[in-house]
């Protein structure tokens, strides 16, 4: 059952989205607004129990989130969401920092190229480049995990598929928060949950897909991993809200991955919206973050992270 706070959040989001930003706004204008909002409501970019360092990863702007207490070997590569058109490490700093601190893992958040200026497969190329950069630093792939939310969840899967097909060593596991796995938007919950999801609209998702695909088929396996071969991938850990239009993207993915022999844990959080983990005041968000941290710490071999995950 959803908490009282989540019910209040749902009502607040519905009031706010009744006057939502024009979905046809130039994404470049929207990006600046979202970055400013993230800094305003995210403590001006400061994080508790850790610090942030700017980085250049093979030409890709990025930032490291480094917990005060960390496992020296474990790395989390985080791929932010935003429909492949908006958001940045700044917008996701608070969420990623909390998971990284709880897991005791250094987190690398890359500012991958966004559409419409850089359509598919630019984001996939940048994710692969960042992962291979980590390997080039001598980091054991057994100590690397990957995570992402929404489009970043789909991008996480695209990264795994690309690495597998290229014969690269795979990371130890991947956590997916409300992943967008089907840009063809064929899931039934796009219809049944259209009025239930106050965070993500069908219109907004279709527009983001158009910006990103620009002529590429929406069923291309690296754009929509739901249509890819999934065998040989590392363990997947999926959390999704029960009110999401993207609920079927997670449910169908989990079923297909299991059929392909991939270890999968899927948890549906009843009554919760898209990427509810972003709202730290929700008890469900805190619980989900902690569970994700335990999974990532365990897969990366970061035993010290289990202490933080219980905080």
In total, the chain counts a number of residues equal to 311
Q: Does the active-site annotation cover 244?
A: yes
Q: How far is CA 10 from the centre of its chain?
A: 21
Q: Tell me phi and psi for residue 121, to 5 degrees.
A: -105, 30
Contact 197, 273 (CB under 8 A): yes
Pairing of strands 106-110, 60-67: antiparallel
Q: Does the active-site annotation cover 150?
A: yes
Residues 115 and 208: their CA atoms lie apart, in Å, by: 8
Contact 247, 240 (CB under 8 A): yes
Contact 55, 84 (CB under 8 A): no
Alpha helices in the chain (DSSP H): 4-17, 27-41, 89-103, 122-136, 151-166, 189-192, 202-213, 247-259, 283-300, 305-309
Q: Does the active-site annotation cover 288?
A: no
For 113, the 3-state DSSP assignment is coil
Residues 288 and 92: their CA atoms lie apart, in Å, by: 16
Catalytic-labelled residue, pool 70, 80, 92, 244: 244
Catalytic-labelled residue, pool 274, 284, 288, 308: 274
Contact 74, 104 (CB under 8 A): yes
Catalytic-labelled residue, pool 88, 94, 150, 224: 150
Contact 262, 228 (CB under 8 A): no
By annotation, the residues acting in catalysis are 150, 244, 274
């Amino acid at each position: 059952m959803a908490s009282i706070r989540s019910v209040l959040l749902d009502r607040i989001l519905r009031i706010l989205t009744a006057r939502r930003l024009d979905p046809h706004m130039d994404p470049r204008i929207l990006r600046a607004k979202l970055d400013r909002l993230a800094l305003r409501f995210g403590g001006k970019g400061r994080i508790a129990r850790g610090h942030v360092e700017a980085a250049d990863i093979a030409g890709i702007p990025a930032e490291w989130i480094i917990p005060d207490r960390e496992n020296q070997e474990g790395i989390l590569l985080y791929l932010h969401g935003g429909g492949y058109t908006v958001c940045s490490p700044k917008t996701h700093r608070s969420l990623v920092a909390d998971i990284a601190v709880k897991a005791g893992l250094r987190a690398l958040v890359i500012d991958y190229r966004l559409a419409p200026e850089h359509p598919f497969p630019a984001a996939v190329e940048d994710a692969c480049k960042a992962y291979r950069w980590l390997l080039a630093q001598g980091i054991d792939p057994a100590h690397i995990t990957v995570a992402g939310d929404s489009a970043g969840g789909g991008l996480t899967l695209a990264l795994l598929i690309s690495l597998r097909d290229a014969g690269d060593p795979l990371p130890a596991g991947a956590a997916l928060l409300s992943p967008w796995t089907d840009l063809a938007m064929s899931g039934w919950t796009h219809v049944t949950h259209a009025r239930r999801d106050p965070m993500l609209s069908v219109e907004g998702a279709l527009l983001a897909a158009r910006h990103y695909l620009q002529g590429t088929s929406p069923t291309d396996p690296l754009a929509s991993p739901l249509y890819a071969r999934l065998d040989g991938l590392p363990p997947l850990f999926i959390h999704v809200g029960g009110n999401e239009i993207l609920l079927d993207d997670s449910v169908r993915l989990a079923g297909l991955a299991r059929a392909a022999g991939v270890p999968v844990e899927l948890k549906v959080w009843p009554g919760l919206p898209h990427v509810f983990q972003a709202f730290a005041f929700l008890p469900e968000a805190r619980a989900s973050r902690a569970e994700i941290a335990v999974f990532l710490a365990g897969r990366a071999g970061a035993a010290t992270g289990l202490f933080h995950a219980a905080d």
